Amino acid sequence: MSVNSTSLPFIPFTRPSFNQETIDAVAEVLRSGWVTSGPKLAEFEATLSEYFGGRPVRCFANGTATMKIALQVAGIGEGDEVITTPISWVATSNVILGVGAKPVFVDIDPISRNIDLNEVANAITPNTRAIMPVYLAGLPVNMDQLYALANQYHLRVIEDAAQAFGSKWKNRKIGSFGDLVSFSFQANKNLSTVEGGCLVLNNADEAKVAEKLRLQGLTRQGIDGMDVDMLGGKDNLTDVNAVIGLHQLKQLPSFQARRTALARQYFDAIRTEVKSAGIENLKLELPVENFIDSNWHMFQVVLPLEQLNVDRAQVMAELKDLGIGTGVHYPAITGFTLYQNLGYQTQDTPIAERIGRSIMTLPLFPGMTDEDIGRIAKALVGILKKYAKS
């Protein structure tokens, strides 16, 4: 078992930031006696709607529910096909299966690590009803190209923007335009409600359907009785979560500025360490550096495993020994047993298979120090040098 062999404090790959004002606000909600969906949820949804330029927004218990309900709002169901990426948290494709549709995986672009939009048209069939792109680590796809494709083939777009709250495209906030846009507020996201998510919709009619779907299909409740006119679930967000979100939203600009600064330091520190170690020949792949509108949700490197006498697990274990936490986001979905049993094969998306086998997430969160970045870069490059093939 790996243990921290250094006296320095452990750096997790992520950590949420909740200030005292947020903690006090949660206590106030708890004391109020109204802890489930209520006035704070209504306030949070209204504030989010304003943030997204007045578009309707509905919140849910988690980001998986937002995607599932987006599919239902779009009318996706049995026999339909949804084009998506194999590099994502498995929830992206699981919700497609969950509504009776079929995920169709298109390989990724090796630079952005997002779905390769140039290959999407080749995957479209008469059964294709939607495209579900994922904005890995907060980096959007080319939104102009995405919606040109959707318009050309008359497809709905369900944006899995779980990691992209605060990201932009040509200075427009992701979620402020487009079709259905799904965000997650899970604990490791740039804006966290501990658990939760929101869906940005196109109009009041879609918002009403989303409301019904998140609470058992309930359409009327009061002294004159109640009615249910569709099959829904139990996916509502509580006021406890909502008040956290309200305070996180106030802090978002400072969070974003700090994440951007830390990401810039990563690029400089890693390149400096690589040069100092004399291992410029190693093809360590860094994120897209010049995309100014990324929210820098994660900082991911792709290890040059073909040039190393070690696998990713060992690199991660040695970093842990040095007090540095890492993550894997993500292995190719097509390699999971569930999907293998459904007939999917990793060789059908070879770039995703390679990236999924080699990608590693380094720590990045607002509470990190400048010194943390230097320490991580030095540790990573030291391990790469030790195991570099001669």
Burial class (CB in 10 A: 0-12, 13-18, 19+), 7: exposed
Q: Are 360 and 315 in contact (CB under 8 A)?
A: yes
| E-assigned strand segments in the chain | 57-60, 81-84, 102-105, 128-132, 156-160, 168-169, 172-173, 180-184, 197-200, 218-222, 225-228, 299-302, 359-362
CA distance 76 to 244: 32
CA distance 315 to 161: 29
Does the active-site annotation cover 389?
Answer: no
Q: Quick one: tokens of 362?
A: 């380094």
Q: Are 199 and 57 in contact (CB under 8 A)?
A: yes
Out of 189, 275, 320, 386, which one is annotated catalytic?
A: 189
Q: Are 70 and 130 in contact (CB under 8 A)?
A: no
CB atoms inside a 10 Å sphere around CB 249: 19
Q: At 238, phi and psi to the nearest 5?
A: -90, 165
Going by their DSSP bridges, the two strands 180-184 and 197-200 should be labelled as antiparallel
Q: Is 292 helix (H, G, I), strand (E, B) or coil?
A: coil
User: What residues are labeled active site?
Assistant: 189
